[in-house]
Structure 1
Amino acid sequence: MKSPDGGSVEAYAACSCGRRYPLSLAARTKLLAHLSNDENLARALSTIEAAAFDQQLLRDLWPADRISKLAMPGVVPVGTPVLHRPVEPVRLITRGLVKLGLHMTSVMHQAQGIGLAANQVGAPVRMCTHKLGAVAPTTLINPEILKSAGVWEYTEGCLSLSVDGAAAPVVRPKTLLIRALTLDGRAFIANADELFARVLQHEVDHLNGIEYVQRLTGLERTRVYLVMNEHDIDHSWMPPAPYG
């Protein structure tokens, strides 16, 4: 099957175990309708702009061995400004960006996490990694949630808020339609469900400056914010942002 720009498209359904299933022609056609010819980013390996971008990434990056009492090693803790404001879209795919993806993946695995956003390692760019590589490419650039539906409750924690008692059940949409790019410049689009959808929503929230605790409501919100008080966490950075 061909994409709008004439390139080939790999289309399949997958479960978190890694098993893949063929999509019907109708399903593939519906997904392709959300691709556009302007999705590709320039690959810039030696330009002045690319060099400046890579230098900025290097300056912002938290060392993998940096320790905080509130977060896992190499991960920015809550209360750090880069974690609480929207980040900028990626405009160039550079060597530095590829290295950032590798760094994020390494930090995520060392922390035994299932997902990680770029601003969680200090880089204010729209990129995230996840551990469900059997389902989809593990590094996604400029992820964008196009649609969401349903309701699903699932307990979440965060590598940037690694304190006892902070994990809590969060109610989010169950399914979503997401569009992104891969590190080799390919367009990616998926109908995501349950765990994969949950990981993507958690990481996209990070890229929008939202911590999962801001999605909590009722007694769970009260409990978790009391836990943060016990750890002297300034949660003025995290105003409520529940789903409507």
Structure 2
Amino acid sequence: MKTIGRRMRFYRTIGAKLKGGEMAAILNISQGSYSDLEHDHAKPSSDTLIRYCTETDINIFWLLTGEGKMARPIGEVEKEKEENSEISIIWQNGMVVGNHQVDNDHKYLISLINTIQAAVNCGLGKEVILNYIAQLLSYTEVHFKREEEIQRSIKFNSLDEHKESHKRLLDQLISLRNEVGSAEPGEHQKAILEILFNDLTEWLFRHMLDEDLKMTEYFNLEKNHRVEDNSEE
């Protein structure tokens, strides 16, 4: 995944991996500057991390596996970002939740967002882009309902919290659609469309990485139980 994908994944997962002192060292800032991240809680919020993390880029594979380079110089990151400004989101193994239906849904949501990005890059009109956003909204509703049914079946203990998160995410997507729809032709509309992909990317990773990866443990336990049952037979 290119720069934006790694960065959004970093925002959502780094708080669970590192303590404040380690985070301060990675970001090359003082422990004092980082103190508010540690105040009252061990894991900083993603919104606070975003504020602090705009000057770095972390290799997501290092973050999840410990392999490869941890980070790259900001100049190299910005150069890649400029060179690959039209690169789409790419599916990675680190995104796997562990349920075939959920993972396939996520792959399709990525493809829809990539289609929207392609439409923006090609200069297609607002009505075309709104049509693609409508498809994204429709499939998101289907996906969320399917996901909640799966969570009930595995007795996911954060189901109510997850449903509330789904509602917030749908509201955010509707707000993005309305913002694009109300944009007047000209520079304002162009500016809205240019930031749309970044907003959709953040929206998607907020769902996939901040919420859905919590289910991975349940799916792994379910697989282990099936293996144990088969071995007993």
**TM-score after normalising by structure 2:** 0.28
Higher RCO (Cα < 8 Å, 6 or more apart): 2
Q: Greater share of helix residues, 1 or 2? A: 2
Asked which structure has the greater CA Rg, the reply is 2
